[in-house]
Amino acid sequence: MTGNAPTTESTPPQWELAAPILEFDQVSFKGTGETSIRMNQFSATIRSGELVEVELERQHNPRDLVSMMLGLNPPDAGEVLYNRQDWLGIDYARHFQMRSEIGRVFAGSAWIQSLTLRDNIHLAMRHHGVSETETEEKVEHWIQRLSGHQLAKVKWALKKRPSVVEPSVLALCQLIRAMANGPRLLILERPLRFMLESLYDHFVSAIDDLRSSGTAVLFFAGDRDEYRLEFRSPVISWRIINGTMNTNGRRRP
């Protein structure tokens, strides 16, 4: 007698069924600086809607590593895929389109000092083909969403050049620039370094909403002492041991 035997296989968690956004296959990378974060045959995937948190120590600088993830620096070995496409070759049009879908908050300054902050933000979107009207709408949305009680300061700062704006407001403007175009992948390098703690909840709410719409987030965290950010679960943790990234982090329930 035969029949349909009951299966004992469980359904994979929802986040493991989502589309891969950023994939690493046996990637090795040294970087150029003494504080660069390395990879040694690193394999992992960040999927649509996932949040991966990497806790940095003071000496860590993720800038070289992130530039490698975006095809700006070549890995020493292995392959990096964004949306199932590699960064190899000279297909600049394809790479341009890929990068137009990625938002980034830099660990250091990434402003053009001769432009106002508003022109800096608009320049990035105009560069990727977003109309002026749509840019205005999107930027205004994120100004309102992220600024909280700093709203007046942010609006004042947008008319100024970066050199005359205080770091806590620059931090908000960096987030506005990174989030304004609804990125499929958002990479954050120490985004809270200068942000006021009173605005952390705005930050968490914005990140979770982007994740709900499919954005994958790689969050290089640091400099927030013991403050715990209550992101929507699950949050995946990767670790840096002896300057080298691995996936043996703690996965929160």
CA dist 77 and 168 (Å) reads: 38
Give the Cβ contact number of residue 209 at 10 Å: 13
In a domain? residue 54: yes
Residue 172 lies in a domain: yes
Our count of domains for the chain comes to: 1
Q: Is residue 8 part of a domain?
A: no
Query: CA dist 69 to 60, 74, 86, Å?
Result: 17, 9, 10
Phi/psi of residue 140, nearest 5 degrees: -65, -40
CB 125 within 8 A of CB 178: no
DSSP category for residue 6? P
On whether the pTM is more than 0.75, the answer is yes
Residues spanned by the domain of 205? 20-252
2 part of a folded domain: no
Domain contains 9: no
Distance CA 143, CA 225 (A): 26
The amino acid at 73: N
> What CATH number is attached to the domain comprising 74?
3.40.50.300
Identify residue 82 by its one-letter amino acid code: Y
Q: What distance in Å separates the CA atoms of residue 163 and residue 112, rounded to the nearest whole number?
A: 10
Position 5 in a domain: no
pLDDT in tens, the chain (253 residues): 444 555 555 655 555 678 999 999 999 999 888 889 999 999 999 999 999 999 898 889 999 999 999 999 999 999 999 999 999 988 888 998 999 999 999 987 789 999 999 999 998 888 888 899 999 999 999 999 999 999 999 999 999 999 999 999 999 999 999 999 999 999 999 999 999 999 999 999 999 999 999 999 999 998 655 568 899 988 999 999 999 999 876 554 4
| Preceding omega of 191 cis (within 30 degrees of 0) | no
Residue 3 in any domain: the answer is no
Any domain includes 203: yes
Do the bridges between strand 244-246 and strand 235-241 make them parallel or antiparallel, or are there none, so unpaired?
Answer: antiparallel
